Amino acid sequence: MARVAVVGAGFGGLAAAARLVRLGHDVVVLDAAAVTGGACSRLEQDGHRWDAGPTYTLLPAVLRDLFRKSGRPLEKELDLVQLEVLREHRFADGTSLALPGGSRGAQVRAADALSPGLGEQWASYVASYTETWELLRTDLLERRWSPDVGRPETARMLASRTSLRRAARRGLRDRRLRLVAAHPYDVDGHDLSGVPAWAGVVAHLEQRFGTWTTPHGMAVVTELLAARLAERGADVRLRTPVTDVVVRGGRAVAVASADGEVDADVVVCAIDPRRLPALAPYVAASQPAMPPVVSHLGLEGELPPLAHHETVLHGDPLLVVRVQPPGSAPDGGAAWTVLARGRGAEDPVRALAERGLHVRPHVVTRLDLSPRASAERWGGSPLGVRWDGRATQRQRLGPRTPVPGVLATGAHAAAGPGLAFVGLASALVAQEVPAV
Ligand SMILES: Cc1cc2nc3c(=O)[nH]c(=O)nc-3n(C[C@H](O)[C@H](O)[C@H](O)COP(=O)(O)OP(=O)(O)OC[C@H]3O[C@@H](n4cnc5c(N)ncnc54)[C@H](O)[C@@H]3O)c2cc1C
């Protein structure tokens, strides 16, 4: 049995810890905050509730695998429901596209309704990622990438200089469809010319597997994982910032924390490695992707109608409105979260009004987070590393790091965006800890 110190109790740290405890390891989890969950947690104010970060996930199989391999199956504890429409895109020319998830046929019909012929254009773009997904899944996401074991096609794909901007231009003549393809990376603040073409696989995953949420918000996921850790006797220490990894004799032997040194055979870094001096030099060449401006709104009265969980208003600023699940506001009210990037993003409510969504008179409470405030709150960006060309993939740490005895997971180690990829990164970490 190894003694494992997990640094960070966001989704990445909790997912790794839950697997490791189940494998029989002695696990201590340390987090600087007063609650677990990191960005996958709940915010409350004046009777309103918001998911602080994630409101849905890709690849439900990742959560199902995590729950099964760390105790009880997910179905026993959590209702994971598919969102019929991924999001509604509203374009500057006044047209809109409500793009369904989990169905090629439904996507074709929706894109054809935008303009006849666009269905086929979108479907063949998405289909071009079928092989990409198989290569990524088997060579990079479900096992540690190694050029000795991975297929040459995967190595070529990872080494390709083609950017997502170029791939979308090539595959999609319609400008609006290019915005749809770019959306997951635009909203996370990446410059598309620095994002490798293979990262466009997200469109394939959304079409094939859909996006999923829970009726009570995504924070339930980390709450259940924390409860599972408590049940299995893991030592979870909150309000305990970790300041470094202690390396002796060329190997990690402990973490330095506000509680003093905590001994460990293996350290799992589930935070931004820039925060730990022993790891920081190895990630000096990359930068974090900064969160958007986030405005959590508590609303009442007659609101502008939003038919879907997520509405994207393309333009500058880019605005994303997420409607929180029923029950997130007192009777007759609603809870929305607005993400904003670009010109005028500092005041998302004003930016919404400029696009015809007048909510200011309906705001009864409001919780705003600047990008800097978000990064401070979670001790780094929950969006991980900013894409800056194909080298970014190599510059990320994880699951192994150059420091013997230190593994890495979380958004900064994950190959793609969001909980699904972080969940996969945590599964890799669990594979790397020596068996009992
Ligand atoms: C606004 C927003 C919306 C998002 N929406 C979605 C979505 O809809 N779907 C989706 O899949 N993903 C979404 N994401 C991404 C998702 O939040 C992340 O992928 C995920 O939460 C990352 O988890 P993590 O554990 O790596 O990091 P975090 O959630 O950032 O957790 C890091 C944890 O480490 C702790 N910590 C930091 N430094 C230290 C230290 N020195 N010592 C001890 N503890 C420390 C922090 O307190 C925190 O608890 C969104 C993110 C944001 C910001």
Helices (H), 210-337: 219-231
Asked if the structure places residue 86 within a domain, the reply is: no
pLDDT in tens, the chain (436 residues): 899 999 999 999 999 999 999 999 999 999 999 999 999 999 999 999 999 999 999 999 999 999 999 999 999 999 999 999 999 999 999 999 999 999 999 999 999 999 999 999 999 999 999 999 999 999 999 999 999 999 999 999 999 999 999 999 999 999 999 999 999 999 999 999 999 999 999 999 999 999 999 999 999 999 999 999 999 999 999 999 999 999 999 999 999 998 899 999 999 999 999 999 999 999 999 999 999 999 999 999 999 989 999 999 999 999 999 999 999 999 999 999 999 999 999 999 999 999 999 999 999 999 999 999 999 999 999 999 999 999 999 999 999 999 999 999 999 999 998 999 999 999 999 999 986 4
- Which of 355, 376, 397 is the C-terminal boundary of a domain? 376
In this structure, are 108 and 226 located in the same domain?
no
Distance, in Å, from the CA atom of 54 to the CA atom of 190, rounded to the nearest integer, reads 18
Ligand 1 centroid to residue 25 C-alpha, Å:
24
User: What's 248's domain CATH number?
Assistant: 3.50.50.60
Distance, in Å, from the CA atom of 300 to the CA atom of 362, rounded to the nearest integer, reads 5
In this structure, are 146 and 184 located in the same domain?
yes
Ligand 1 neighbour 57 (Cβ under 6 A): yes
Look at residue 434 in the predicted model and tell me its pLDDT: 81
Q: Ligand 1, from 6, 40, 409: best to mutate by most atoms within 8 Å of Cβ?
A: 40
Asked if the structure places residue 96 within a domain, the reply is: no
Ligand 1 neighbour 422 (Cβ under 6 A): yes
Look at residue 436 in the predicted model and tell me its pLDDT: 46
pLDDT in tens, 329-387: 999 999 999 999 999 999 999 999 999 999 999 999 999 999 999 999 999 999 999 99
Contact 168, 182 (CB under 8 A): yes
Ligand 1 centroid to residue 203 C-alpha, Å:
22
Look at residue 435 in the predicted model and tell me its pLDDT: 65
Distance, in Å, from the CA atom of 333 to the CA atom of 274, rounded to the nearest integer, reads 41
Distance, in Å, from the CA atom of 55 to the CA atom of 51, rounded to the nearest integer, reads 6
Asked if the structure places residue 418 within a domain, the reply is: yes
In this structure, are 309 and 256 located in the same domain?
no
Q: Which residues neighbour 58 within 8 Å (Cβ) at sequence distance 6 or greater?
A: 202, 205, 206, 209, 211, 212, 418, 419, 420
Category of 384 on φ-ψ map: left (φ > 0), alpha (ψ -120 to 50) or beta: left
In this structure, are 157 and 196 located in the same domain?
yes
In this structure, are 252 and 320 located in the same domain?
no
Distance, in Å, from the CA atom of 242 to the CA atom of 8, rounded to the nearest integer, reads 9
Ligand 1 neighbour 196 (Cβ under 6 A): no
Neighbouring C-alpha atoms within 13 Å toward the C-beta of 247? 13
Domain that includes residue 319, residue range? 293-376
Ligand 1 centroid to residue 263 C-alpha, Å:
25
Tokens 């996969």 -> residue: 424
In this structure, are 409 and 282 located in the same domain?
yes
Ligand 1 centroid to residue 166 C-alpha, Å:
30
Ligand 1 centroid to residue 381 C-alpha, Å:
7
Ligand 1 centroid to residue 411 C-alpha, Å:
7
Ligand 1 neighbour 348 (Cβ under 6 A): no
Asked if the structure places residue 415 within a domain, the reply is: yes
Asked if the structure places residue 272 within a domain, the reply is: yes
- Which of 334, 354, 376 is the C-terminal boundary of a domain? 376
Ligand 1 neighbour 270 (Cβ under 6 A): yes
In this structure, are 317 and 284 located in the same domain?
no
Position in ligand 1 atom list of the atom nearest CA 420: 11
Domain count, the chain: 3
In this structure, are 18 and 129 located in the same domain?
no
Asked if the structure places residue 391 within a domain, the reply is: yes
Q: Strands (DSSP E) along 169-287, which ranges? A: 211-213, 235-237, 242-248, 251-257, 260-263, 266-269
In this structure, are 14 and 162 located in the same domain?
no
Contact 392, 420 (CB under 8 A): no
The SS3 call for residue 16 is helix
Instruction: Kindly report the number of other CB atoms within 10 A of residue 404's CB atom.
Output: 12
Which neighbouring-strand residues pair with 299? 334, 363
Position in ligand 1 atom list of the atom nearest CA 40: 21
Ligand 1 neighbour 198 (Cβ under 6 A): no
- pTM of the predicted protein model: 0.98
In this structure, are 141 and 62 located in the same domain?
no
In this structure, are 118 and 233 located in the same domain?
no
- Which of 150, 182, 210 is the C-terminal boundary of a domain? 210
Q: How far is CA 409 from CA 158, 238, 243, 315, in A?
A: 20, 19, 17, 34
Lookup: tokens for 136: 């990524």
315 closest CA partner among 172, 206, 187, 202: 187
In this structure, are 141 and 278 located in the same domain?
no
Nearest CA to ligand 1 atom 46: 378
Q: Which residues of 181-219 are buried (b: 16+ CB within 10 A; e: fewer)?
A: bbbbbbbbbbebebbbbbbbbbbbbbbbbbbbbbebbbb
203 closest CA partner among 419, 416, 426: 416
pLDDT in tens, 381-421: 999 999 999 999 999 999 999 999 999 999 999 999 899 99
Asked if the structure places residue 129 within a domain, the reply is: yes
Asked if the structure places residue 90 within a domain, the reply is: no
Ligand 1 neighbour 212 (Cβ under 6 A): no
